[in-house]
Amino acid sequence: MRAFALLLAGLFLANEAPAQSPSAAGSTDAALQAKLERVVDGFRGDVGIYIRHLDTGQSAALQPDTLFPTASMIKVPILLTTFDAIEHGALRYDQMLTYRDSLYYPGVDLLGHFQDGAEVKLSKLVMLMLTMSDNTASLWLQHLCGTGTAINDWLASHGFEGTRMNSRTPGRQADWERYGWGQTTPREMAELLVMIREGRAVSPAASTEMYRALTRSHWDDEALSQIPPTVQAASKQGAVDASRSEVVLVNAPGGDYVFTVITKNQADTSWTPENEGFQLIRDVSRTLWQHFEPEHDWQPPEGVRRYWGSTPE
């Protein structure tokens, strides 16, 4: 019955509003583009970056439409499809669910330490998925959404051609072997956050709640570490051995800007804060803050690095 309800909701949504293209008009910021190319010079691996200032439309990019692994950034599409199901009555944000040991995904997840039979609200699964990047919670929500196929149908119906769920999704074994859990482009991942920020994702009310949830990340030691702690930012991070990534939308004093940094085929597969991919994300984030907010110069205080850890898978 739940799968049938989700199918009907998906059909209703597809007919309710036309697909919106994730592309956005704007001109290249030549000065920012030059800075970006200097930052990535010498990086040992493939890099994809997309940057856009929402007010001015100025942008800069490197391989913005090339496919990269999402790692945990695929949790943004899971979030969107979860709220789509809530909006159409197939799920409730406050509904109580029963955790079973069979749901456990090996790792360091908080949810995986729950006792079999413990009850948890769906809203807390969303919190764990985004704030802690909890994989057990994420896979449970993916299942509740009606498998990866429902997620991919939502993405396709809204104009996202490259972003797809691969894991536990029929017909996507080859894509899973190449990209892992999910795949995306730097531009599309950034525009997913913009869609939420502008209230165009599912509904204005759903977008508001999703945006709030995306501003509560525990993993603040890469891109977020280069933004003043008094400035709000929505974000999602991802990492596997040879790929590190982050998408961030910054509510800056001079206007919102969004950026995605994704790597693949990294030579450095270490899991320390000094990993080349982590450092690249920090360097890009710092460059953007200094470029867009020259009147609000800010540097992480001396000694803050002792608090930085590593981002989870």
In a domain, 313, yes or no: no
Give residue 21's pLDDT band: very low, low, confident or very high (50, 70, 90): very low
In a domain, 1, yes or no: no
Q: Does residue 148 register a pLDDT over 60?
A: yes
Domain of residue 142 covers: 16-292
Which candidate, 211, 198, 163, 164, places its Cα nearest to that of 64?
Answer: 163
- Quote the tokens at residue 145: 């959404």
**Amino acid making up residue 124:** K
Which residues are 48's β-sheet partners? Answer: 262
In a domain, 71, yes or no: yes
In a domain, 87, yes or no: yes
Query: What is the rounded distance in angstroms from the CA atom of residue 242 to the CA atom of residue 277?
Result: 9
In a domain, 274, yes or no: yes
Q: How many domains does the chain have?
A: 1
The tens digit of pLDDT for each residue in 199-232 reads 999 999 999 999 999 999 999 999 999 999 999 9
The tens digit of pLDDT for each residue in 32-82 reads 999 999 999 999 999 999 999 999 999 999 999 999 999 999 999 999 999
In a domain, 121, yes or no: yes
Report yes or no on whether pTM surpasses 0.85. Answer: yes
- Give yes or no for a contact between 12 and 88, defined as CB atoms under 8 angstroms apart: yes
- Give yes or no for a contact between 205 and 195, defined as CB atoms under 8 angstroms apart: no
Q: Which residues contact 173 (CB under 8 A, 6 or more apart)?
A: none
Q: How, if at all, do strands 164-165 and 119-121 pair?
A: unpaired
- Give yes or no for a contact between 207 and 272, defined as CB atoms under 8 angstroms apart: no
Query: What is the rounded distance in angstroms from the CA atom of residue 170 to the CA atom of residue 162?
Result: 17
Give residue 147's pLDDT band: very low, low, confident or very high (50, 70, 90): confident
In a domain, 57, yes or no: yes
CB atoms within 10 A of CB 267: 10
CB atoms within 10 A of CB 309: 11
Give residue 115's pLDDT band: very low, low, confident or very high (50, 70, 90): confident
CA quadruple 252, 312, 81, 209: dihedral positive or negative? negative
DSSP codes, 237-270: EEEETTEEEEEEEE--TT--EEEEEEEES-S---
**Secondary structure element (H or E) that encloses residue 60, with its range:** strand 59-62
- Give yes or no for a contact between 185 and 160, defined as CB atoms under 8 angstroms apart: no
Query: What is the rounded distance in angstroms from the CA atom of residue 187 to the CA atom of residue 254?
Result: 22
- Quote the tokens at residue 207: 């977008």
**Res 308: pLDDT:** 79
What CATH number is attached to the domain comprising 175? 3.40.710.10
Phi, then psi, of 210 in degrees rounded to 5: -65, -40
In a domain, 301, yes or no: no
**Res 179: pLDDT:** 98
**Res 23: pLDDT:** 47
